[in-house]
Structure formats: C-alpha cells, structure tokens
Chain A
Amino acid sequence: MERLLNHKSQINNQMARYGVKFGIYKDGEFLERLFPFDPIPRKITAPDYEKLEKGLIQRVTALNAFLNDIYNNKKILVDKIIPEEFIYRSPGYLSACENFSPEKKIHSHISGIDLVLGKDGKWYILEDNLRIPSGASYPLIARSLCRKCSPDTFRNNEVVDNRNYGQLLKETFDNVNKGGINVIYTPGRFNAAYFEHSFLAEKSGAVLAEFDDLFVENNTLYYKSSKGPVRVGAIYRRISDEFLDPLTFRSDSLIGIPGIMMAYRAGNVAILNAPGNGVADDKGIYYFVPKMIRYYLDEEPILDNAPTYLPFYKEDLNYTLENFDKLVIKDVAEAGGYGVVFARELTKARKEEFIEKIKKEPRRFIAQEVIDFEDLPIVEGSETVDRKADLRAFVLAGRKTKLWPSGLTRFSRNPDSFVVNSSQGGGFKDTWIMSH
C-alpha cells in the first residue's frame, strides 16, 4: 500500500493524461474537473464480497421482477404489498411503458446500488439507481493506471481483476440485442458524465452516438453512418426518460430520438436501461424493496436497507415527528446528494417549516436513521485523514446477473459531511475485492 502512496503524484499525472474528468454546472456555466482520486483503495474481503454478491443480485432480480409486474399484471398492487399511491404518483412511473415487457423481461440491465458499511460491520443499502447510474469508468481506468505506476502493489496483493467491465457490458448488450449494432447514446460533450460515455463505448466496442446520429424509420432505429444507415439492435441511452423521445415524452426535448419508443415497443430495439425504471428507484419505493424480495423471490433479504420511515403511514409520521432531530430527511424527487437534510442541523424556524412540509406532503419525503457509517483513510497533503465513504456497486443483468468485482468508492472531502457525491465536491477511490 505504501508503494501506491509513494506513486500518488505519478498516478495523478496519469489521470490528467487520460483526462479523467467529470463536469458540473455552476452558475449556468459548464466546468470540467479532474475527479479527485485517492490512491488508498477500499478493500473488501472475499467472504464479505460473497455476501454482497448474493445480496445485490437478489435485490436487482427482485427489482426487475417488480418493474415487469408493475407495467403489466400489477400483482403486487392487487395483493396490497405496495399502495397504489406510491406507483401512480411517482414521477418515475411512465404510462407509455404500460403493457410491455422488454426483451427477456430485463428492465434494469445496469444497476448502481449505493451502500455504506456501518460501524457495526453491516452493509446497508442506501439507494438503488436503475436509470442511468454513472461511475464504473472511474475505478476501471484508475485500476489500470495504478497497475502501471505501482506494479509491485498488485504483485503483493491478491486483488481480483476488475478490467472486464467492458466485456460485461458488451455481454449485457448482446443478450438483448434485437439485431444490429450496439450504441451508447450520449447527450454530448457537455454532459457531466461524458468521459464515462466515451470511455465505456471504447471498452465495450459500442458505437458512441449523439442525437443527430440516429433516426427511426418504419419503427426501426438506425445509425447514420457515412456509408449509409446501419440498424441499431441495442442502445444504452445515457439521457433521462423525459428527454428520450419527444414524440412520447417532453416534446421540447432537442436531444431525444423521435420515434424510439415506437421502435422499442415494436420489439425492434432494446433500450438499456428500460424507460420507466424511475418508478423502482424512487426513494419512496426503496422502503418496499425488502417486501419485494419476499414477495417475488420468497426469500429473506440478504442485505438490509437503512432503517427507513415513510411519513405516508401515520405510525411512521408520528415516529418521524417524535424523533425528528436524529433523522435524515430525503426529498424523494431529488438526486445527486441534493434534497438531503440532516434534521439536527436545521435552525428552529427551518425545522418548523420542514415539519409542516412533511405533514402537508408526506408522500414527498422519507426519513432515515443516520447510519454512523465507516470512515476510510484518505491522503490529504502529507497526512492521512479519515472521511465518510460509500460504495456504488454495479450489477449487470445479462444472460446471468453478475456483480462487477469492483465498484466506485466515493468519499467526502469535507470532514463534517456525510455527502459523498462528486457533484458536491467528493472524490473517489478504487475498490479492491480481495481474492481471499
């Protein structure tokens, strides 16, 4: 490990060489920054990984079953496991996806599940990201650069190789491809995750396309090659549902592909991840995932949610109000670390205002116990300091559902903060899965 630390500046030079960046919009201006990398990896032991693997595959399998059910038979609603309110009022629910099952009934092909390791030694799921989870490219490139800068580190530590992500992604594409090329569809150079889009296209052998490169004719999606139209069999779209097809969703979308939903519903192209997945990664629905596992798989959840309360239920509302100061409140409509409020940090006036909001719109919020999750060491100047860190694990549902043996460990650079998102100034680490 010390060897890796000694090579910190070399590794950062390599990061700069390969332009490992992410973008943020600040005051309406697009800024591109190198993503701060910390060379001390998070290590996960083989037994711990085995449990994570089983638990995460179980979770994603249940979420896929839920998505297929909710857009078709709705048995889970009929059986009153989840109140209808949580489906039809969710902004992620799309009526345009009703009565349709995508190829092989896979809705979430690439899932990014956020977890933390509590100080009690247990992993807790914080969030499911089933729409367009970002981040795999960073540990992927970091690993290859660290190997280059400090080969001895990898000779002396038995770390499972993570450089197969491109292949896993290709298999995920190929499993649902309806005949044609694989495409990664990016909203363009000024998207926060553009580096990732282009890097994953290179690693998976997919064609990177922008809005002007694709068109739909006779319910079939084509890529405008300079040598003529080429049929697209599977598209990993990196734009939100609402912008995907101006003929179905937001008519003012300039970055969408007119008619793609018709091609999709005609079974002529696979869309990864399927439109409409937002209904399953809504923070309100999160509460119900353990119930989904029991309902669809008849199994007990292997991994726990963070203890969560839904003010929608009277009992939970009472608990939330009685224990307000020790809870973290999340707005279900927000993402990227926004809309997260630690109640203890609010002023008296803000607290009262917030409580009124919860009473008025209970469906809009969830309340969670603050998990005292682990700190990981990071290098700051010449010192090593402890900071809060989470883990985004990537589960790919191809012919088999697999957990990528790595993940994006994000850490807060602020000693007083639990928020680790890159958009909030956080950095990242590689995640090592040890082979024993």
Chain B
Amino acid sequence: MDYVSLTKTNRLYWLGRYCERVLSTTQYMMYWYDSMIDGAAIDYKDYCEKMGIPADYESPEAFIQEYIFDKENAFSLRHAAEEMLANGMVLRETISSKTLAYIQMAVNALELGKNDSAPGVELQWVVDDVMAFRGSCDDFIEEEFVRNIIKTGISIERLSLYLRLGYNLENVAKEMKKMLNRLHKSGLQTNAMSLGRIYLYGNENQLNISDEDLLKAVENLVVL
C-alpha cells in the first residue's frame, strides 16, 4: 500500500501536467524548427498570445532558442522540464528511481541541446525519455489511483493546450472522455460546476459553451 499525502497528490498531478507540457511543446517546437530550416516564417507572437505568455523575443530564431532552452525564462520549455523534474524528485519513493531517471535524462538532453547546432537530435531524446517515463509509470507504479492522478494531470494539460491553441473540437471531446475516466479512478476532488460542464461537453456534446469558458472549467476542475 502506497501512502500518498495531500502534498504528494498535488505533486503527482503537477508532474503529469508538466510531463505533458514538455512533451507537447517539444513536439511543437521540433516541427517549427524543421520549418525554419527552409526559411518558413513562424508566427511565434500568435502562439505566445494564445498561450498567454510574453512575446518579447528579438526574432523567431531568438524565440526558438530562448523558449526551448532558457532555464531562466519562466515560460520556457526548459523551465517546464525543470518543474517536471522538481515534482518528480520529491516523489522518488512513489514512482521509483528508475522511473525518475527518464525525467532526469529528458532534462539532461535539453541541457545538451542548448549548444548543439542540430538540437533536433536532443529534442527527439526529450520526447523519447518522456514517453519512456510514461511507460515506466504504467509498469512500476503499483497503485492504480496514483497512476491515474498522473494521467489526469496529463489529460488536463493536454486539454488546456488543445483549447488554447484552437485544436479540432472533436479531439477535445475525445480527450475529455479519456480524462473523465482517469479522473474517476484517481480519487481527486473536483469542482462540481466545472465537472458538470465538462461532462456535458465531453459525454453528451450538449453544451453550448465558448472555448474560453471551457478552458476555465478545465483549469478549475481539480481541487488540490
């Protein structure tokens, strides 16, 4: 029996969220980095606006470099990776050293990629390590509710990103169903109003609600 305190519950949830943030952002940035090789313009200002973060970068190239690798930038991918590691480190005995090692390796890969002329190789390692981390969570975390707290965090973050970046609503509804299933098994406390809205949207598709309100419902769903 794994005893999980409220503090740990909080960390497990945020571990899941940062894990997804790192994965999705890395994949997004790899796509943009590749586009820029052929001189394609990237609309990073629009991206920053949708994400609700400052867009004060000197150029698209500076955005790519700083947004991916700058540890001091509180909105960067690197910062999210450090937060993922910080949450993981304090859960070592719950998630195991071998599972934690994958997050450490993802952070190490980002550090290596910082000065690499071909950072895509290291970014691919970040993706691989985060995916391996997820697999390791599934395999080595004994308690189902613990796994589901992490997975709920992952789903919530994914939904948040989908809604911010204007993803296809069909995908949003699918992810909501998945998230509700995980949430149910996690034992996490929820905000009844948010849950009602998400349930109606995800399961019944009966709700007329703006993306903005739906995002609020997602962000306020879990009460920690």
Known: A18-B97, A223-B5. A189 touches B92 (CB 8 A): no
> Is B160 at the interface (CB under 8 A from chain A)?
no
> Is A208 at the interface (CB under 8 A from chain B)?
yes
A230 to B89, CA, bound (A): 23
- Asked if B104 contacts A18 (CB within 8 A), the reply is yes
> Is B96 at the interface (CB under 8 A from chain A)?
yes
A302 to B105, CA, bound (A): 47
> Is B28 at the interface (CB under 8 A from chain A)?
no
User: Distance (Å) between the CB of B12 and the closest chain A CB?
Assistant: 10
User: Which residues in chain A, 205-227, are within 8 Å of chain B measured between CB atoms?
Assistant: 206-210, 212-213, 223-227
- Asked if A208 contacts B92 (CB within 8 A), the reply is yes
Most buried by B among A188, A208, A210, A226: A226
Q: Is the interface of B mostly helix, strand, loop or mixed?
A: helix
> Is A320 at the interface (CB under 8 A from chain B)?
no
> Is A202 at the interface (CB under 8 A from chain B)?
yes
B interface size (C-beta, 8 A): 21
Which of the residues B9, B85, B86, B93 comes within 8 Å of A198, measured between beta carbons?
B93
Which of the residues A199, A209, A223 comes within 8 Å of B92, measured between beta carbons?
A199
- Asked if A16 contacts B104 (CB within 8 A), the reply is yes
- Asked if B97 contacts A199 (CB within 8 A), the reply is yes
Known: A16-B108, A18-B97. A226 touches B4 (CB 8 A): yes
Contact with A along B178-197 (1 / 0, CB 8 A): 00000000010000000000
Q: Is the interface of A mostly helix, strand, loop or mixed?
A: mixed
A188 contact set on B, CB distance < 8 A:
90
Shortest Cβ distance from A194 into B: residue? B89
> Is A19 at the interface (CB under 8 A from chain B)?
yes
A201 to B91, CA, bound (A): 10
Most buried by B among A141, A212, A213: A213
Shortest Cβ distance from A198 into B: residue? B92
> Is A17 at the interface (CB under 8 A from chain B)?
yes
A224 to B6, CA, bound (A): 7
- Asked if A17 contacts B86 (CB within 8 A), the reply is no
- Asked if B5 contacts A202 (CB within 8 A), the reply is no
- Asked if A202 contacts B86 (CB within 8 A), the reply is no
- Asked if A202 contacts B108 (CB within 8 A), the reply is no
Which of the residues A16, A223, A226 comes within 8 Å of B9, measured between beta carbons?
A226
- Asked if B7 contacts A212 (CB within 8 A), the reply is yes
Known: A16-B104, A18-B101. A189 touches B4 (CB 8 A): no
Known: A17-B108, A19-B104. A202 touches B3 (CB 8 A): no
> Is B222 at the interface (CB under 8 A from chain A)?
no
> Is B159 at the interface (CB under 8 A from chain A)?
no
Which of the residues B5, B6, B90, B105 comes within 8 Å of A17, measured between beta carbons?
B105
User: Distance (Å) between the CB of B71 and the closest chain A CB?
Assistant: 13
A224 contact set on B, CB distance < 8 A:
5-6
A428 to B114, CA, bound (A): 29
Inter-chain residue pair count (beta carbon < 8 A): 66
A208 to B4, CA, bound (A): 10
A208 contact set on B, CB distance < 8 A:
90, 92-93
A interface size (C-beta, 8 A): 26
A225 contact set on B, CB distance < 8 A:
3-5
A17 contact set on B, CB distance < 8 A:
101, 104-105, 108
Shortest Cβ distance from A225 into B: residue? B3
Shortest Cβ distance from A19 into B: residue? B104
Known: A18-B104, A226-B187. A206 touches B93 (CB 8 A): yes
> Is A181 at the interface (CB under 8 A from chain B)?
yes
A227 to B187, CA, bound (A): 9
User: Which residues in chain B, 46-89, are within 8 Å of chain A measured between CB atoms?
Assistant: 85-86, 89
A207 to B4, CA, bound (A): 9
User: Distance (Å) between the CB of A128 and the closest chain B CB?
Assistant: 29
- Asked if A213 contacts B7 (CB within 8 A), the reply is yes
User: Which residues in chain B, 3-25, are within 8 Å of chain A measured between CB atoms?
Assistant: 3-9
B4 contact set on A, CB distance < 8 A:
225-227
- Asked if B5 contacts A213 (CB within 8 A), the reply is yes
- Asked if A209 contacts B89 (CB within 8 A), the reply is no
Known: A209-B5, A210-B7, A213-B7. A202 touches B104 (CB 8 A): no
Known: A16-B104, A18-B101. A201 touches B5 (CB 8 A): no
> Is B176 at the interface (CB under 8 A from chain A)?
no
> Is B100 at the interface (CB under 8 A from chain A)?
yes
User: Distance (Å) between the CB of A217 and the closest chain B CB?
Assistant: 16
- Asked if B92 contacts A201 (CB within 8 A), the reply is yes
Known: A16-B104, A16-B108. A181 touches B3 (CB 8 A): yes
User: Distance (Å) between the CB of B223 and the closest chain A CB?
Assistant: 12
A225 to B8, CA, bound (A): 9
Q: List 24 A-B contacts (CB under 8 A).
A: A16-B104, A16-B108, A17-B101, A18-B97, A18-B101, A18-B104, A19-B85, A181-B3, A194-B89, A201-B93, A202-B96, A206-B93, A208-B90, A210-B7, A210-B90, A212-B6, A213-B5, A213-B8, A225-B4, A225-B5, A226-B5, A226-B8, A227-B4, A230-B3
Given A18-B104, A19-B89, 8 further pairs, Cβ under 8 A: A16-B108, A18-B100, A189-B90, A199-B97, A202-B96, A208-B92, A224-B5, A225-B5
